[in-house]
Structure 1
Amino acid sequence: MDILVYLAVAVGAYLIGSLSSAIIISNGVKKKDIRDYGSGNAGATNMLRTFGWLSGLLTFLFDAAKGVLCAWLGWLIAGEMGMHIAAVCVVLGHNWPLYYGFRGGKGIATMFGAFLFMFPLTALLLALAIVVLIAITRIVSLSTLLGVTIAAVIVICREPGNLPLVINYAAFWVLAMVRHRGNIERLLKGEERKLEFGSKKKKANEQ
């Protein structure tokens, strides 16, 4: 019976994760598909660059909320194991959404939401550090990948004997690296795009 409950949690979290705020906002409000602009990624950073800070912020908050919601529901329905299953599956849904041809985002905001539910204070402090790092380097991908790596190290060192937790954050790290392959290649070549604060570049919604 536990297996069926875990399976239901996994499927439910994946389906919730498949609701892409970036695609919903860009199609519904801007009448454009965010995946056709900028980096082609259905995530907060591309929304910010393409449609402005409000669209980027709303996308981030919605995606993070998915992580919080699914981690909480997983815990409520099936305890700690359910929480970890839901946390990974909601990210899988975000990255490869069923409703949008399996072309989604990179999962960072959704991972953050799950992390926030599990370790609120640590997650908030780490988020603050990432924001500072972005402000200094202006490279979002580098800052977020460092954040995911630090989060995984902190969690694994904190509870090395908690196998479900270790697997959860190892999976987060692997998913982040897989979805950022292109970014990593550009970082190694010194070609990664920097965030332009106060840019006067023409946005897609002005075209």
Structure 2
Amino acid sequence: MTDPIIIAVPKGRILDEAMPLLARAGIVPEAAFRDPDSRALRFRTDRPDIDLIRVRAFDVATFVAHGAAQLGIVGSDVLAEFDYSELYAPVDLKIGHCRISVAEPAGMAATDDPRGWSHVRIATKYPHTTQRHFAARGVQAECVKLNGAMELAPVLSLAPRIVDLVSSGRTLKENGLVEVETIAEVTSRLVVNRAAFKTREQVVPLVDAFRRAVAA
């Protein structure tokens, strides 16, 4: 018997939006998958040839790129940051809408003009995306890598600005920060391991099923 296809899905908000897509693509997880108290990470589905794993959003791309999972659902922000050559992203799932933005304290923003920047110090979990964005404008970006609590960086003088994922902007506002520049609009994508796309016969029909699910 062939090993099941493994689809990596992210924990959190995107997972809630992905559930109807999975159903329309003909994939229904076992009941434990929807249990918020479950500590399990791998789950069966109503299809014996498909399992799901639930991992951190940033790790989805790594699992799929290295072939531990054959497909995954991941934000375009993660794809841009890691730029794995082993990943193929054939379908924009049109979920998880947000943006990667530069933000700074409201008091600083009142007199600041991003067009005049030549050097910036920025706290972010997207150092490669940030440096690439500013390098294209001839701005030197010094990045301090953080994995969370980005909004604390300006308050505690770690870095005067941050680059982070923004959805409603509420978290920024509650921490006295404002957006001053958008680096990229973000949506979630279906990603496929390139080798699996060529060698696992179930993969192409699954990609087509997700494409139809989005169109529906």
TM-score (norm 1): 0.24
Higher-helix-fraction structure: 1
Higher-strand-fraction structure: 2
Please say which structure displays the higher CA radius of gyration.
2
Structure with larger RCO (C-alpha < 8 A, sep 6+) = 2
TM-score (norm 2): 0.23
